[in-house]
Structure 1
Amino acid sequence: MKWSASIKTVFIQSVCYLFAVLFVYAAVSKMLDFENFQVQLGQSPLLSAFARWISVLVLAAELIAALFLLIGRLRHIGLYCALSLMVMFTAYIFIILNYSSFIPCSCGGILEKMGWNAHLVFNIVFVFLAASAIVLDASVGKARNTGYSFLAQTKWIAVAIAASISAVALLYMSSEEVMHHSNPFIRRYPHHPAEYSASFRLKYSSYYIAGFRGQRIYLGNYEFPSYLMSLDSSLKHQKMERISFSPDSIPFKNIYVRIQEPYFYLYDGSVPAVFRGDAKDWRITKAFKGVPYFTKLAPIDGASIAFRSNNSKKLAHVLGVFNMDSVPKISYKRNLLQKQIDGIFDTDGTLLYSEGMEKMVYLYYYRNEFIVADKYGSLAYRGHTIDTISHAKIKVSELKGGREFAMSAPADVVNSNAAVFENLLFVHSLVRGRYENEKLWKKSFIIDVYDLSSGSYLMSFPIYHTSSSSLNSFAVADGYLAAVIGNDLIVYQLKDALKKEIKKE
């Protein structure tokens, strides 16, 4: 059936008005809550790295397209603008649904009420409307100007569609590369990568997570170091274990227990002593003789440990490996920690060991850097957390003629604590990123997740405050995260967004 010129004109004008209303409404909705719109783009897995300028560009494009559609002599250009925008929006949603690591929130306005699949169908319908209007407008124009050609318009439509899809695909690939490896301090918060599961009220605030054995969480207590409390991951079944140990005359000050199956380790850095026992009967069976004084320790295997000591020039920190079966037993790795100010406070941090990757990890407190080394202490690479603080912001004073050092001003902590499981590094960050909700920071601890196998940032998620806003310790096991927050033991279940990133060797 052939359409008359008047019907074509009515259809074209109706499509132009429909697009103009849609674009103006969408643009105004975004402008009225522009900050939230930027936050949503910042959380997008496609556009995170370019959220600042894309947020402005989208608004401008929608308003310009609407203006062109309402001006008769510019409406043909306006229809191409409308087509390109709708194809871009459609390609964006298609990639979100099929290729992105998570699905973000919607874009605001009327579309916020739609699900992503309905949103996709909505956009496809408008793509067909724009393409139809362009073709009909070309046929109407042909009667007035022989320069118009149906074949030419279909070719240009194809070019516009291909260019629009390519632009979105290029943005996606570029943004992914930037976010994972050159992050401009924009966090990604997928929907519930870790969900609250259970809590248990502790009698003392002196508990810490000593480790995991089987499906049980073990808690040590600084005030009662000979006792371990264990609970299953549901926190319903509680047990108490007593460590059988007679320290004789060793002047322990602050005993710490670490469980790494099949062993447990008992140590105190104020004295050069490390003991190993069997976690089946909780009896000490081995002493690591010849261990140097240390300030941090991470068990590697039954015979070796990674440690941090001050046996360097001007008491500067140094990392090392102790192996009771090797000669010599102690191997200092003086090239690992890099001094910025004093070599003591500026290199302070958290020492961890990944059994799955057989890698040592050292995360600095006051700068955006972590070190990954093999179990012998050889450097694998230096990685960076996504915040922008590359130089420690601390002030240090020398006391007693340079024999002692002290902080002379409060320090800006960047990475407060960390845990490692297989290839994943979990970092409790104290620095707020771009496009982040202030309320979320006030009521939760933000955990950033990195892939140690590639040194890349993956995602972030919150652990919410309980009656306390103090995160004493946390650790990650297969399938869940456990945290001691004040007097509460909390368990979060890891969901698919996180589980699929775990690479077991």
Structure 2
Amino acid sequence: MKLRWDILRNYFVEIGIYLCAFLFVYAAVSKLLDFETFETQLGQSPLLSAYAKPVAIGVPLLELLISLLLVFKRTKRIALYGFFAMMVLFTTYIVIILNFTDFVPCSCGGVLEALGWTEHLIFNVCFIILALFALLFEKKQNDSRIMSFKKPKTFIISILSVFIGGVMSVSTLYLLSEKEIQRNNSFLRRYPPHPVTTIKGLNIKYNSYYIAGFAEGRIYLGNSSAPAHTLSVDTTLANVKTHKIELDNTQQITFFSPQIRIQSPYFFLIDGSVPVIFKGKLSDWKARLSWQGDNNFTFSQMESVSSTQFVFRSIDNKSSQNVIGRIDFDNSDTFRVSNKLLQKQIDGIFDTDGMLRYNSELNRLIYVYYYRNKFVTADTDLDIDYQGRTIDTVKNAVIRIASSNSDQVRRLAEQPLIVNHQSYSAGKYLFIKSDRLGKYEPEEILKDASIVDVYNLENHTYEFSFYLYDYKREKIKSFQIYNNILIGLSEHHVVLYRLQPLNFELKK
């Protein structure tokens, strides 16, 4: 009876060892045959992004080495411990993915490619148990046992040491990877599965439209070629209306580049080159002059904070640098400028060029630089409360300036490196569109989509990124967020994308 048990035990050990070896050989070969995809998947993992390159190389090599050692009797013992340790590492990775990361990436990996993460976990646990039994029953040559039944404590301590070591190793890599992403600007993006889905698009024929704002479930589009005409559409893109502004321009003001801003129940027609602000109601589209500035003062950007308050970007006459200012009709200090918000690196004009935005939910203005990995948030009194960096690595603007007419006229000598193309802030998030690829990202993706990075303005962290796919072969040139809908504008279409509630905490 004992002999039969020994034979069965030996068969079990041999079959178990060959199964372990086959699993690792198959997994390693699968990874190596499609190494670029494997490395990319690790690079976009929420757990090991910062160490994708060494992990991508090391894991299949270790799997092959362990498989080889499992074949030889003299190395079976150490190889089984190695297999057990690797499976503990893989299982810990899955547990952290499922319970401690912000999102669960797509499932992948050789023989397990068709399995979900929960099935991965069950599969791994089964092989951990198999390895434990194989270690328990395996004998070395010359009657040397892997585990002596006279010394069970030694075996238990060895197994626990390997198990705890594996768990601690992956947990440490996870914490270090998070630090690398959040603090060290390693330019590693992570992509949760399908946080944004395309709803539908509407052909608006002309490429001169821009997003003016939102009010009562409608999207308003201004037209730079026909400033008096505005287009509005509901969020189903089914009900389209046109509006014509009736302007009470008794002052005979000549406009240069007027734009529309919506602040329900009002609309504003603004022109920073004059500069003026006309105000009207959405109910009748009649506007009259609300404010006119000094002819020596002009502004290049303006955002409405409320029906009586605006923030703008202008050039300071004394310093000849970009500054941020505020106009508040209800405040005794109606006009205010701050030269502390924008940080000069080269000339104070081109190097501080960027996008001025206002977040009504946080009551914060945000300025995102075009040519460097930086943005600034401030309150409406123009006091800075946070200076953040994006995950890009370009800290200093890469621009070259040419001067003429005795340095009175300055211009860009060549097209500068644009780090941040577009931006918008809604809820607690800052959305930044960037065409610069991070590590492990395929260049081909930019042919069909744009990349949008999401930052949390409350926690001061990078959250994740998503692809904003082209619509009818047209790229999204600008976008804004209305509740849980992203409104994108391409050359000839307005396109709606849904922001999924699993990934975004936004109004519906």
**TM-score category by the smaller chain?**
over 0.9
- The equivalent residue for 2:266 is 263
Instruction: Name which of 461, 480, 484 aligns with 2:466.
Output: 461
Secondary structure at the residue paired with 2:247?
coil
**Contact 2:249 2:289 (8 Å CA) reproduced:** no
- The equivalent residue for 1:168 is 170
Instruction: Name which of 469, 488, 492 aligns with 1:487.
Output: 492
Classify 1:337/1:144 alpha carbon distance in 2 versus 1 (closer, same or farther; 3 Å).
closer
Classify 1:207/1:146 alpha carbon distance in 2 versus 1 (closer, same or farther; 3 Å).
closer
**Contact 2:449 2:475 (8 Å CA) reproduced:** no
1:313 Cα deviation from its structure 2 partner: 4.3
Matched, 1:304 2:309: yes
Instruction: Name which of 280, 287, 290 aligns with 1:287.
Output: 290
Secondary structure at the residue paired with 1:315?
coil
Q: Please, which moves more after superposition, 183-192 or 143-152?
A: 143-152
- The equivalent residue for 1:369 is 374
- The equivalent residue for 1:192 is 194
Matched, 1:35 2:40: no
- The equivalent residue for 2:7 is 6
- The equivalent residue for 2:421 is 416
- The equivalent residue for 2:21 is 20
- The equivalent residue for 2:399 is 394
Instruction: Name which of 106, 127, 152 aligns with 2:154.
Output: 152
Secondary structure at the residue paired with 1:281?
coil
Matched, 1:177 2:183: no
| Cα distance in 1, alignment partners of residues 136 and 86 from structure 2 | 17
Secondary structure at the residue paired with 1:471?
coil
What is the correspondence of 1:203-222 to structure 2 with a 5 Å cutoff? 203-222=205-224
**Contact 1:394 1:412 (8 Å CA) reproduced:** yes
Instruction: Name which of 338, 359, 364 aligns with 2:364.
Output: 359
1:493 Cα deviation from its structure 2 partner: 0.6
1:379 Cα deviation from its structure 2 partner: 0.6
**Contact 1:106 1:112 (8 Å CA) reproduced:** yes
Q: Please, which moves more after superposition, 205-214 or 396-405?
A: 396-405
Q: Per-residue CA shift, 1:485-504, capped at 9, x if unaligned?
A: 1101100011124323x499
| Cα distance in 2, alignment partners of residues 142 and 118 from structure 1 | 40
**Contact 2:69 2:76 (8 Å CA) reproduced:** yes
Q: Please, which moves more after superposition, 128-137 or 156-165?
A: 156-165
Q: Per-residue CA shift, 1:146-184, capped at 9, x if unaligned?
A: 983333212321222222122222222332333234341
Secondary structure at the residue paired with 2:246?
coil
- Which amino acid in 1 is paired with 2:34? D
| Cα distance in 2, alignment partners of residues 49 and 340 from structure 1 | 29
Q: Please, which moves more after superposition, 206-215 or 174-183?
A: 174-183
Classify 1:289/1:214 alpha carbon distance in 2 versus 1 (closer, same or farther; 3 Å).
same
| Cα distance in 2, alignment partners of residues 195 and 374 from structure 1 | 33
- The equivalent residue for 2:130 is 129
| Cα distance in 1, alignment partners of residues 373 and 330 from structure 2 | 35
- The equivalent residue for 2:339 is 334
- The equivalent residue for 2:278 is 275
| Cα distance in 2, alignment partners of residues 493 and 341 from structure 1 | 40
What is the correspondence of 1:421-432 to structure 2 with a 5 Å cutoff? 421-432=426-437
- The equivalent residue for 1:319 is 324
1:396 Cα deviation from its structure 2 partner: 0.6
| Cα distance in 2, alignment partners of residues 364 and 190 from structure 1 | 26
**Contact 1:134 1:153 (8 Å CA) reproduced:** no
- Which amino acid in 2 is paired with 1:151? K
1:8 Cα deviation from its structure 2 partner: 2.2
* CA RMSD, 1 decimal: 2.2
Work out the percentage of aligned pairs sharing the same amino acid: 38
- Structure-2-length-normalised TM-score: 0.93
Matched, 1:231 2:225: no
**Contact 2:368 2:420 (8 Å CA) reproduced:** yes
- Which amino acid in 1 is paired with 2:230? L
**Contact 2:138 2:145 (8 Å CA) reproduced:** no
Matched, 1:445 2:450: yes
Classify 1:364/1:147 alpha carbon distance in 2 versus 1 (closer, same or farther; 3 Å).
closer
- The equivalent residue for 1:378 is 383
Secondary structure at the residue paired with 2:20?
helix
| Cα distance in 2, alignment partners of residues 251 and 328 from structure 1 | 28
1:213 Cα deviation from its structure 2 partner: 1.0
Q: Per-residue CA shift, 1:365-411, capped at 9, x if unaligned?
A: 11111111111110111111111111111111112222221111111
| Cα distance in 2, alignment partners of residues 260 and 19 from structure 1 | 65
- Structure-1-length-normalised TM-score: 0.94
Secondary structure at the residue paired with 1:4?
helix
1:325 Cα deviation from its structure 2 partner: 2.8
- The equivalent residue for 2:68 is 67
Secondary structure at the residue paired with 1:288?
strand
- Which amino acid in 2 is paired with 1:63? L
**Contact 1:180 1:458 (8 Å CA) reproduced:** no
| Cα distance in 1, alignment partners of residues 153 and 207 from structure 2 | 76
| Cα distance in 2, alignment partners of residues 37 and 147 from structure 1 | 37
**Contact 2:233 2:241 (8 Å CA) reproduced:** yes
Secondary structure at the residue paired with 2:346?
coil
- Which amino acid in 2 is paired with 1:279? L
- Which amino acid in 2 is paired with 1:150? P
Q: Per-residue CA shift, 1:41-96, capped at 9, x if unaligned?
A: 01111111211121122123212221221221221111111111111111212222
Q: Please, which moves more after superposition, 48-57 or 351-360?
A: 48-57
Instruction: Name which of 245, 248, 252 aligns with 1:246.
Output: 248
Note the residue ranges of structure 2 that are not aligned, 5 or more in a row: none
**Contact 2:147 2:155 (8 Å CA) reproduced:** no
**Contact 1:181 1:457 (8 Å CA) reproduced:** no
**Contact 1:317 1:344 (8 Å CA) reproduced:** yes
| Cα distance in 2, alignment partners of residues 145 and 125 from structure 1 | 23
| Cα distance in 2, alignment partners of residues 388 and 123 from structure 1 | 38
